[in-house]
Amino acid sequence: MSEALPTWRDDWALFLDVDGTIVEIAATPGAARVPTRAIPALATARERLGGAIALISGRGLADLDRMFAPLRLPAAGAHGAERRTSDGRVHFRPDAAPLAPAEALLSRWAVAHAGILLERKRGSIALHYRNVPWLEPAARVVVAAAAAALGPGYHVQPGKMVLEIKSAEVRKSRAIAEFMTELPFAGRVPVFVGDDLGDEDAFEFVNALGGHSIAVGAERVTKARWRLSSERQVLRWLEAEALPMRALS
């Protein structure tokens, strides 16, 4: 994996994770803030790429729109359980009703352990232990038990101080694949920037298409071919590549 980045090209289709990639991770999901400078950088990147830019996030679409307002980009929310195309149409995968038993179990456990945050999404449920990191071993046990009770259609996706039970049908790689069949993404070179274990399937997917995979943050074993050290460096990269185009126009 190299810190030198591929040269920006106008035939890219750019896909960006949000938390840990554009936005610094906060104590709770609701406390995270998009840097003010990111909005014009993303808007200009969209202009340069002919609209071929999308957010690929674990957050829901409504949350993404609130955070990035007034910008409203194509996006895959909840890891792809909900997806908005470039023409504004929204596609939903069926919400996973079988998650209800797992949610009930984890809700009881969260109530009994102060500092645990339980987040319900379309197609997944996430248990955050960022504010009580010493509870990680116990959290892993209870989440594994909750997932096992749901059957083989669900698995646990570990993240940064979070454990998420989600449908095996919901994957960031699948969301990117769907975008790549549609205009303005079709026929372009896919580029995905992400930071977490949940992004690895998307790294692998864009690699297979001959695209570029960029990991953000601490060095770890990853399928990404390139690296940026932090969210701030991602923003500098976007500004350096996209914003000069406006000055030249």
Catalytic sites, residue numbers = 17
Residue 52, phi then psi, degrees to nearest 5: -85, 65
HSE value, Cβ hemisphere, 13 Å, CA-based, for 189: 12
Residue 124: beta bridge partners? 121, 166
Which residue's entry shows tokens 């830019």?
A: 53
How far, in Å, CA of 206 to CA of 14, rounded?
Answer: 11
Backbone angles phi, psi at 173, to 5 degrees: -60, -40
Q: Both ends of the chain: CA-CA distance in Å?
A: 35
Tell me the CA distances in angstroms from 49 to 25, 79, 152, 201, 223, one per residue in order. 27, 23, 40, 24, 25
Tokens coding 32: 């995270």
What's the DSSP call for residue 80? G
CB-CB contact of 44 with 83 (8 Å): no
Pull the structure tokens for residue 52. 């071929």
Distance CA 171, CA 58 (A): 10
